[in-house]
Structure 1
Amino acid sequence: MNGRPLRKALPAVPGWHDLDSDVPASRSTSNQSTGLPLPPIITRRPAHPMFFAVSVVDSRGRVVAASIIDTLGWRPGHVVAFAVSEEQVVTVQRPLGTATPRSLRGTIRRSGRLILPATLRHRAGINQGNRLLLAANETSQLLQIYPALVLAAILQGHHDVNWRAR
């Protein structure tokens, strides 16, 4: 185009100063915009970087998670332990010992798949065809799996939005 980086050509957006140190804070927090009003942008950053993927559960409980597994540095053959919270969020981690029951342990497959044990799927209400949000925290070496129903509850509780059709 004109040889300038794209971000320099864009108008200032509130909160961008947190994301791009090249934009002065005074320019990015100006509310004297003549365009459409924008909602406030969340500038609070998580304490640790998070990585996300979406996957679907097949009939045998397999979940494709290759990109997330690679991000965590887990390799085929690594043993993982599964746990389910009261909120039906599944946590996956490399076990420190053998305290995890065999029914809640698994192995990373060569194809980059995790197999969610049947016991775990039943406890978390996960069925064939369900979409799952995979959220990995590289620092703590944890993978959390959120079923769609859990995400819907989180979103409805987080926003003061009337989700009914008008």
Structure 2
Amino acid sequence: MAAIDRDGWLADAVVVPALGWLSGTRVDVRVRGGLVVVTADSQAVFRVTRPGQVRLPATVRHWCGLTAGSRLLLVADPAMGRLVVHPPAAVHAMIISFQAAAWDGEAA
């Protein structure tokens, strides 16, 4: 879990470095199915600044309803070379779905 700051920066000392992204690594940031997917791309505009710091653009933050202090679930997928950022709405939907399955489809 990480919080996003007012300028869209998220920092994590473990998850982002697990991808091998160093300062200066160019990254592509896209929204897919309500999740933010960050991948290394030598042609991308955005960069990892310091180890573990990635900035989510304002348009992405707006689409996902992210504000300063929003807590995000970060998942590194080193095999695929991507960071998947789960906004609060996505985490909430996963919890509701998981609980419904645990109670055989009954509302919790």
Q: TM-score, normalised by structure 1?
A: 0.57
- Alignment partner for residue 22 of structure 2, among 71, 75, 79? 75
**Larger Rg, first or second structure (1 or 2):** 1
Q: How large is the Cα RMSD of the aligned pairs?
A: 1.6
**What is residue 115 of structure 1 aligned with on the other side?**
55
SS of residue in 2 equivalent to 1:67? coil
- Structure 1 CA distance, aligned partners of 2:97 and 2:53? 31
Do 1:69 and 1:75's aligned partners in 2 also have CA atoms closer than 8 Å? no
Percent identity reads 28
Measured after TM superposition, the shift of residue 125 of structure 1 is: 1.5
| Stretches of 4+ aligned residues off by more than 3 angstroms | none
Offset, 1:66? 2.7
For residues 124-145 of structure 1, the C-alpha deviation after alignment (integer angstroms, 9 at most, x for no partner) is: 2211111000001111111100
Q: Could you tell me how far apart the structure 1 residues matched to 2:80 and 2:30 are?
A: 15
Instruction: Give, as a single letter, the amino acid of the residue that structure 1 aligns with 2:38.
Output: V
Match of 1:95 in 2: 41
Structure 2 contact 30–37 (Cα < 8 Å) conserved? yes
- For residues 112-151 of structure 1, the aligned pairs below 5 Å read 112-151=52-91
* Cross-structure match for 1:19: none
| Inter-partner Cα distance in structure 2 for 1:60 and 1:94 | 21
Aligned to 2:98: 158
**Unpaired stretches in structure 1, ≥5 consecutive residues:** 1-53
User: TM-score under structure 2 normalisation?
Assistant: 0.85
Aligned residues: 103
Task: Name the SS for the 1:127 alignment partner.
Answer: coil
Measure how far apart 1:55 and its partner are.
0.2
